[in-house]
């Protein structure tokens, strides 16, 4: 098993709470790795630490054998660690076309080009359109992102990340809040991600998790609780007690 991303004793404390507690997690190259846990378990904090949005209190993050704990977010993106957001973080005034066009031109290192007009590179436009077609966004290509239906915005969330050519893609609840009839588009988009991209998926929908993941880590109260194959995790009595049990109580 080749590791692509690894955390070593990663800890993040906010005033009074330990959001991430000594987490050592290993993500194998090409894995479909799911991260589950009850609300407040520290899943999003872990993503924030991996992407550099927050800095760990202690511990290290290693990507491809290199310590990246102190790299700023944009440099980690350049290395190939790309995320989506649980709550849409899009550019409301830009169109999907401009959004993807921006992501692709930045990836190609043309972001400091201040003289050429955005649409003047045919190969760039071709790649942008190809991505928009793949995510079924061609019918809203020139609409302001802020007015798109929620399901389309969720698709755009993933499309933007894909446009950055991730090597590790961190999906933070891609289907969160998507109405039932638009859900299948998101699930299909996640399932169709290229196999050479390693995926870490946070999701509450257990159908999606178990149909998608080949490895599951369970996070409880900021600490790694159980790890293993979907079968092992599903059969683990502790997980049932702590995680699934809580869900039953919720119902």
Partner 1 sequence: MIASRSTILSATEWLSARARWHPLEFVFWIVAFAAIYLVPDRHLILTEIAWLGLFALSLDLILGYAGIISLGHAAFFGFGAYTAALLAKYEIINEPVVAMLIAGVAAMMLGFVTSFLVLRGSDLTRLMVTLGVALVLRELANRYGWLTGGADGLQGVTIQPLFGIFRFDMFGHTGYTYCLTVLFILFVIARRLVNSPFGLSLLSVKGNPLRASAIGISVDARLVAIYTVAAGYAGIAGALLAQTTAFASLEMFSFDRSADLLLVLIIGGTGYLYGGLIGAIIFKFMQDYLSVLTPQYWPFWIGLVLVAIVLIGRDRISCWTTPIRRVAARMNWRTLGSPQVAAPTEGP
Q: How far is CA 250 from CA 90, 126, 135, 243, 244, in A?
A: 32, 47, 34, 11, 10
What is the nearest approach in angstroms of partner 1 to the Cβ of residue 238?
A: 34
* Residues at the site binding partner 1, with contacts judged by CB under 8 A: 51, 53, 72-74, 77-78, 82-83, 85, 89-95, 97-99, 101-103, 105-107, 110-120, 122, 125-126, 128-130, 132-134, 138, 141-142, 160-161, 163-164
- CB 214 to partner 1: min, Å: 26
Question: Minimum distance from CB of 1 to partner 1 (Å)?
Answer: 28
> What's the closest the beta carbon of residue 112 comes to partner 1, in angstroms?
6
Closer Cβ to partner 1, 8 or 176, answer by number = 176
Query: What residues contact residue 94 under an 8 Å CB cut-off, 6+ apart?
Result: 102, 144, 145
- Compute how many other C-beta atoms are within 10 angstroms of the C-beta atom of residue 249: 7
Pick between residue 128 and residue 200 the one whose CB is nearest to partner 1.
128
Q: What minimum distance in Å lies between the beta carbon of 97 and partner 1?
A: 6
Would you say 31 or 97 has its CB closer to partner 1? Answer: 97
Q: Toward partner 1, which CB reaches closer, 127 or 236?
A: 127
Q: How far is CA 161 from CA 9, 82, 91, 234, in A?
A: 28, 6, 13, 30
Residue 22, burial from CB neighbour count under 10 angstroms (0-12, 13-18, 19+)? middle
- Cβ–Cβ under 8 Å, residues 190 and 171: yes
**128 vs 233, beta carbon nearer partner 1:** 128
220-235 in b/e form (b: 16+ CB < 10 A) is bebbbbbbeebeebee
Residue among 13 and 78 whose Cβ is closer to partner 1: 78
- Distance between CA atoms of residues 248 and 243, nearest Å: 9
CB 131, min distance to partner 1, A = 9
Q: Please, where are the H alpha helices in 89-229?
A: 96-107, 122-134, 150-163, 180-191, 206-212
């Amino acid at each position: 098993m080749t590791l692509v991303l690894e955390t070593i004793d990663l800890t993040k404390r906010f005033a009074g709470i330990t959001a991430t507690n000594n987490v050592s997690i290993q993500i194998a190259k090409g894995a479909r790795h799911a991260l589950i846990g009850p609300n407040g378990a520290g899943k999003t904090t872990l993503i924030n630490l991996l992407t550099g949005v927050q800095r760990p209190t202690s511990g290290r993050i290693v990507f491809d054998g290199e310590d990246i704990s102190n790299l700023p977010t944009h440099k980690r993106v350049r290395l190939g660690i790309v995320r989506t957001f649980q709550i849409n973080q899009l550019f409301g005034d830009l169109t999907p076309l401009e959004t993807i066009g921006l992501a692709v031109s930045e990836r190609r290192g043309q972001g400091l080009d201040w003289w050429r007009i955005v649409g003047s590179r045919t190969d760039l436009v071709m790649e942008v359109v190809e991505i928009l077609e793949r995510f079924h966004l061609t019918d809203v290509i020139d609409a302001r992102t802020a007015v798109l239906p929620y399901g389309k915005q969720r698709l755009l969330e993933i499309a933007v990340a894909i446009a950055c050519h991730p090597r590790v893609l961190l999906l933070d609840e891609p289907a969160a809040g998507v109405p039932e009839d638009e859900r299948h588009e998101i699930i299909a988009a996640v399932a169709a991600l290229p196999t050479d991209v390693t995926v870490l998926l946070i999701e509450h929908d257990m159908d999606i998790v178990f149909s998608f993941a080949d490895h599951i880590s369970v996070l409880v109260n900021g600490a790694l609780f159980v790890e293993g194959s979907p079968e092992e995790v599903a059969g683990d009595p502790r997980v049932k007690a702590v995680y699934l049990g809580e869900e039953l109580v919720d119902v």
